[in-house]
Amino acid sequence: MRLLKRFLKISVVLIISVVGMFYFFQEKLIFHSTEIPRDYVYQFESNFEELFLTSKDGAVLNGLHFKQKNPKAVILYCHGNAGGLDDWGNWAQELSNRYEYDVVIWDYRGYGKSTGKRRQKLMLDDGFLFYDYCKEYFPEDKITVFGRSLGGFFATHITKDTNPGKLILESAPTSLLNIAKKEYPFLPSKRLLKFRFQSDENILKIDVPTHIIHGTSDELIPFDHGKELYRLSIAKNKKFYSVEGGYHNNLNSFEEVYFGVLDEILR
């Protein structure tokens, strides 16, 4: 009997510890961010401008604007949960040069040089700062909002309240809650999760042309998430592109298929 009581006590302590760790450290699980000094100098071969935009609560968001001499349009790119502009800037530069688009990309709060408290609405609404910035240079029908992985939440949040030319989602989840349930099935994620990012709800309000790309072997965001977003989309002009055998972080290694898809969408 004593042994049973001791076992139960230990079990309760372990459960409370795991739940507490998930609740208090979930930011580190969701946002794999690193900070860089404000005076860090970005170095890219292409023409670009560094941006510092200030939100209503005083947070300063750092971005980059890659510029073409005669751009066809502009891509507002929402990057994934790991790395910052010192890394993602290389991909933005490649997109810009390959398709002759301007590309605007920014770091979320706590990434790179960007500052500010991480609160769901504040973080998501930061995207409107950069969308409005794009509108200073291009009409809305020349803006493509492109969200990859975690960035899909930002992309759908922006698009549901604006009217860009098109939306692209790559390896995007339906909701953070669904991911948490998959990764931590033993936890009451619905009660613990502080960040309720949810593209499955946003996409019900988006009727601009929508393009969804997903790898069939995605180990982080299952292929079914992309298919579900496509099913839920109310856009009259929508298309789903599967990359056979593609994982979460290697779609661009399937050059013929992946860039063939982007060629179709952006050219």
Residue 188's pLDDT band (cuts 50, 70, 90): low
Give residue 198's domain range.
2-266
Please give the backbone phi and psi of residue 199, each rounded to the nearest 5 degrees, phi first.
-70, -25
Structural domain count of the chain: 1
What mean pLDDT value characterizes the chain? Answer: 89
- For residue 9, the model assigns a pLDDT of 41
Per-residue pLDDT tens over the stretch 28-82: 777 889 899 999 999 999 999 999 999 999 999 999 999 999 999 999 999 999 9
For residues 167 and 159, what is the distance between their CA atoms, to the nearest angstrom? 7
User: Model confidence over 113-167: pLDDT tens digits?
Assistant: 999 999 999 999 999 999 999 999 999 999 999 999 999 999 999 999 999 999 9
Model confidence at 4: pLDDT above 50: no
Q: What is the pTM of this model?
A: 0.90
What pLDDT does 186 receive? Answer: 61
In this structure, what token pair is assigned to residue 58?
Answer: 């005083």
For β-strands 60-66 and 48-54, DSSP reports them as: antiparallel
- pLDDT class of 191 with cuts at 50, 70, 90: low
Instruction: Indicate which CATH number applies to the domain containing 151.
Output: 3.40.50.1820
Tell me the percentage of the chain whose pLDDT exceeds 70: 88
Strand order in the sheet with 74-78: 48-54, 60-66, 102-106, 74-78, 143-148, 166-170, 210-215, 238-243
Alpha helices in 31-116 (DSSP H): 85-99
Q: What is the pLDDT of residues 205-232, one digit of tens each?
A: 999 999 999 999 999 999 999 999 999 9
What six digits make up the tokens of 206?
A: 């988006």
pLDDT of amino acid 189: 64
Categorize the per-residue pLDDT at 13 as very low, low, confident or very high, splitting at 50, 70 and 90.
Answer: very low
In this structure, the number of other CB atoms found within 10 A of the CB of residue 29 comes to 13
